[in-house]
Structure 1
Amino acid sequence: MSGRADDLSKEQEDCLEKFKERVKDVLKQSHDDHYLLRWLRARNFDLKKSETMLRNHIAWRKRENVENIHDWECPEVIQKYFTGGLFGHDVDGCPVWIDPFGQIDLKGMLKSAKKADVIRAKVQLLEKLHNKTFPEFSAERGKRIDSLVILYDLAKLGMKHLYKPGVDAYCEMLTMFEDHYPETLKYAIVINAPRFFPIAYNIVKPFLSEATAKKTIILGTNYRDTLYRYISPEELPVCYGGKHTDPDGDPTCKSQIGQGGDVPKSYHKQQMLSAEIDNAVCVTVGRGSSLQVECEVPVKNSAIRWQFSTQGFDIGFGVYRRTKDERQKANEMEEVLPSQRVNSHLVPEDGSVTCTDVGMYILRFDNTFSWTRSKKIHYLVEVLEPDTEDFTNPNASKASFKVKHQC
């Protein structure tokens, strides 16, 4: 049995009913059987693992404000120079995403945009896919459509694409996709795979689930006969042996499929200097160590805001709240913003979190992964308390804060 709504065994039906009961406190009206079965299939109908996965997803959506992501304006450089676009459908009527990934300039992209924004752009795309594209395809075809085909064209892929910050960002996107949009991929077809592709694939493979790896079809330059078993030539651009061109005759259909290309240096952000941040603190985090910046938050719903840059190399960054009065290790504290390595040596980092509880918050700069290099950081951290006077005004913005103190 496939584990889909119209193809369940008795055991799978029983598992679905138990799952509904276990997660009923987080379910919405839109969370139908099709939705719930995605999480069950992703964890092979293991109730405990499926519940953990779904609850983590619900928490992530709240933390990242995913429900309002359609209001977020994607940076221009990502819109213009990230590869890929929806184009046509496969032989079963599922949408196809064509991605000439070999033409992306990962280094230029990360010099021009935050890694978090690159990932957020993919979240925005996936939300549109689930909330608009799939329902439209389903209505047009009179059957449930809830997965897509990805066609990766790796022509022009070279060793420059093994640029570590770029690979790290891509792997984070894969992890996000696996953790929060399970069973979205029908299959991935890789064409024009270069000779060194096994090296690149070994890097990303640990971030793929076993199911995703099994859905990946890897082809070289002689790909057309195999490709046409999945996608008809009538649904492909001319550059892939298909029938479509842009109105101006362009065989790549770049009006619908982002072609990437080198990011102009005019988009590159200059490295931030400490003098450019008023009252910046400069500190060196030793090799194999970390720095904990303490922020006392005495008022609920205050915000902590930060700016920082590093010289030469990346750094790990996360936000925590102490649960005891004495100093605690990161894994002993409440996680507010999960720690991740950021390319603050390429693009200065800034951000904020809302503190729903009072207490001592810790901004942790993590260099424990580096045993050979110290990291110099320029940072500014501020606590912003809600302006209670503004909140008494029904016409005031609920995002109004005043700076209380610096950490």
Structure 2
Amino acid sequence: MTESPSVPPLEPPKKSLVSSLMEAAAASVLQSSSSFREDTYFVKRLKLSEKKALQEFKDLLTNDESSSSPMSLWGVPLLGGDEKADVILLKFLRARDFHVSQAHSMLLKSIQWRKEFGVEGIADEDLGFADLEGVVAFMHGIDRLGHPVCYNAYGVFKDREVFDRVFGDDEKLKRFLRWRVQVMERGVGMLQFKPGGVNSIIQVTDLKDMPKRELRMASSQILALFQDNYPEMVARKVFVNVPWYFSMLYSMFSPFLTQRTKSKFVIAKEANVAEVLYKFIRPEYVPVQYGGLSRPGDLEKGQPRAASEFSVKGGERVNLEIDGIELGATITWDIVVGGWEVEYGAEYVPAAENSYTVVIEKTRRMAAGDAPIHNSYVSREAGKMVISVDNTVSRRKKVAAYRYFVRKLST
């Protein structure tokens, strides 16, 4: 049930020059992202020129293999003649717009880099960054299409002590780059390399508190490594908590990016992180720090319980009702609103007319950054639960998600 009280119309807030520039940059990136189409990797769907390029690529590799050991990437023999090999070869061709000689050179350089860098077996290597696991770069869940999601957040490095410990000299920087490659390899290890399958990951990069000057060298090297050695491995790049200087960062790195890479970009300012992420990732897979329901360790317990999504318009109050609860049943629920800044409360309404409503959680203001609500209640009478979300003092629509489980009294 939704109550929409009448509220006086609100004048749109005036935009500052910085805000206007940010929105212009965002519109530009979002517009370009809509043109991106991920390859299906079905050979039969390729253009004749692309099929010809694939065969020429294989012929070149056959000549290379005649005087060396069989070539393989991510455990897939490149001339095995199967569809997995075709997917990988097509990734290199796509990265070079189907210029065979350029794709061939890129592949050979990548294989050489993997040998020199010692990539094989790196996924299980202990590099001493346990404190950065789950904070700076980590795989977490999947998107709505099944792509593994990799989160990147560098705000921890605003602490000079942490920064010096990780990037204090060339050796430390090399070890960090090795760790970052390790995270990427774990993500690639989750891919199917199958036509029509899951063949790329989603990257979510959190720019909040990122010390842009200090991390310029590390960022440039990570970008170069991934572009040169992991072609077409990223289906979408989502930037969240984008600061006002995003346009400057974008212009700094833009010359090093291909047009196809730029077409994958989507950005979200701090106020609409959850709204943007929900478009690509279900809320039960979105980490709590980004407005989702997924707490650390949740996914290790198995597939999460699905959540229901809803929105709360500016000036609106929404009541979520859980009906048909029996005597002695236990109701457990989770709820989150992207960005919060709403009033939240919960009560139990007995079915009997002469019974009193029980206030389970007093109405309180939920601030931005608050964790999702997780609570439970044991019913003393048959009735219903009512969870309220009040957004009447806000102009902005908020995205939200909730889920619940009712366990009946055992007999």
Pair 1:209–1:107, CA change in 2 (3 A): farther
- 1:212-251 residue pairs with structure 2 within 5 A? 212-223=261-272, 224-246=274-296
One of 236, 249, 253 as aligned partner of 1:200:
249
Residue 68 of structure 1: CA displacement? 4.0
Q: Give the Cα–Cα distance (whole angstroms) in 2 for the partners of residues 95 and 80 of structure 1.
A: 16
CA contact (8 A) 1:154 1:194 kept: yes
Match among 52, 55, 77 for residue 30 of structure 1: 77
For 1:22 and 1:155, locate their aligned partners in 2 and report how far apart those are by CA, in whole Å: 46
Amino acid in structure 2 at the alignment position of 1:5:
Y
Q: Is it true that 1:110 corresponds to 2:167 in the alignment?
A: yes
Alignment match, 1:177: 226
CA distance in 2, matches of 1:2, 1:193: 25
Match of 2:26 in 1: none
- State whether residues 53 and 100 of structure 2, in contact with CA within 8 Å, keep that contact through their aligned partners in structure 1: yes
Confirm or deny that 1:128 pairs with 2:178. no
- TM-superposed deviation, 1:120: 1.3
Counterpart AA for 2:270: T
Question: Any unmatched runs of 5+ in structure 2?
Answer: 1-36, 66-70, 79-84, 299-411
CA change 1:2–1:155 in 2 (3 A) is closer
Aligned residue type for 1:110 = F
Report the secondary structure of 1:98's partner residue: strand
Verify the 8 A CA contact 1:78 1:109 in the aligned structure 2: no
CA displacement at 1:3 relative to structure 2: 5.3
Deviation, 1:161, is 3.0
- Give yes or no for contact 2:205–2:239 (8 Å, CA) kept in 1: yes
User: What whole-Å deviation, never above 9, does each CA across 1:13-62 have from its counterpart, x for those lacking one?
Assistant: 11111110011234345221001001000001011111111111122122
| Structure 1 residues 2 and 8, CA gap change in structure 2 (3 angstroms) | farther
1:257-308 Cα shifts (integer Å, max 9, x gaps): xxxxxxxxxxxxxxxxxxxxxxxxxxxxxxxxxxxxxxxxxxxxxxxxxxxx
Shift in Å at residue 99 of structure 1?
2.2
Match of 1:191 among 236, 240, 246: 240
Aligned mates of 2:51, 2:184 — CA distance in 1: 28
Once the two structures are TM-superposed, the CA of residue 155 in structure 1 deviates from its matched residue by: 2.3
Q: Which deviates the most, 69-78 or 114-123?
A: 69-78
8 A contact 1:188–1:215 mirrored in 2:
yes
Q: 2:296, 2:133 → 1: CA distance?
A: 17
| DSSP 3-state at the match of 1:151 | strand
Pair 1:246–1:114, CA change in 2 (3 A): closer
The question of whether the paired residues in 2 share the 8 Å contact of 1:4 and 1:37 is answered with no
Give deviations 1:349-377, integer Å, cap 9, x for gaps.
xxxxxxxxxxxxxxxxxxxxxxxxxxxxx
Partner of 2:212: 161
44-53 or 192-201, which deviates more = 192-201
In structure 2, distance between residues paired with 1:247 and 1:40: 38
Deviation digits for residues 177-198 of structure 1 (CA, Å, limit 9, x no counterpart)? 0000010111111111111222
Residue in 2 aligned with 1:345?
A: none
Bigger Rg, structure 1 or 2: 2
Equivalent-residue separation in structure 1 for 2:125 and 2:208 (angstroms): 32
* 91 and 22 in structure 1: CA distance in 2 versus 1, 3 angstrom threshold: same
Aligned Cα root-mean-square deviation (Å): 2.7
Counterpart contact for 2:277–2:286, Cα < 8 Å: no
Which runs of no fewer than 5 residues in structure 1 stay unpaired?
249-407
One-letter amino acid of the structure 2 residue matched with residue 88 of structure 1: G
Cα separation, 2, equivalents of 1:168 and 1:237: 28
Distance 1:192 1:79 in 2: 20
Give yes or no for contact 2:191–2:199 (8 Å, CA) kept in 1: yes
| Preserved contact between residue 41 and residue 196 of structure 2 (Cα < 8 Å) | no
**2-structure distance, mates of 1:78, 1:188:** 25
Q: Secondary structure at the match of 1:66?
A: coil
- Separation (CA, whole Å) in 2 of partners of 1:244 and 1:3: 30
For 1:64, which of 90, 102, 117 is the aligned residue?
117
**What is the CA–CA distance in structure 2 between the aligned matches of 1:203 and 1:78, rounded to whole Å?**
30
Q: Distance in 2 between matches of 1:172 and 1:87?
A: 24
* 1:107-151 C-alpha deviation (Å, 9 max, x unpaired): 442127621111111222222322x3224xx89xx9621211111
Partner of 2:148: 95
Matched, 1:83 2:133: no
AA of the residue aligned to 1:20: K
Matching residue of 1:338: none
SS of the equivalent of 2:203 reads strand
Amino acid at match of 1:121: W
On the 8 A contact 1:97/1:148 being kept in 2, the answer is yes
Indicate how the Cα distance of structure 1 residues 65 and 95 shifts in structure 2: closer, same or farther if over 3 A, else same. Answer: same
Q: How much has 1:79 moved relative to structure 2? A: 4.3
Q: Is the 8 A contact 1:178 1:209 kept in 2?
A: no
TM-score, normalisation: structure 2: 0.53
Check conservation: 2:92, 2:103, Cα contact below 8 A. yes
> Which deviations, in whole Å up to 9, do the C-alpha atoms of 1:305-339 show, x marking residues without a partner?
xxxxxxxxxxxxxxxxxxxxxxxxxxxxxxxxxxx
Matched to 1:128, the amino acid is R
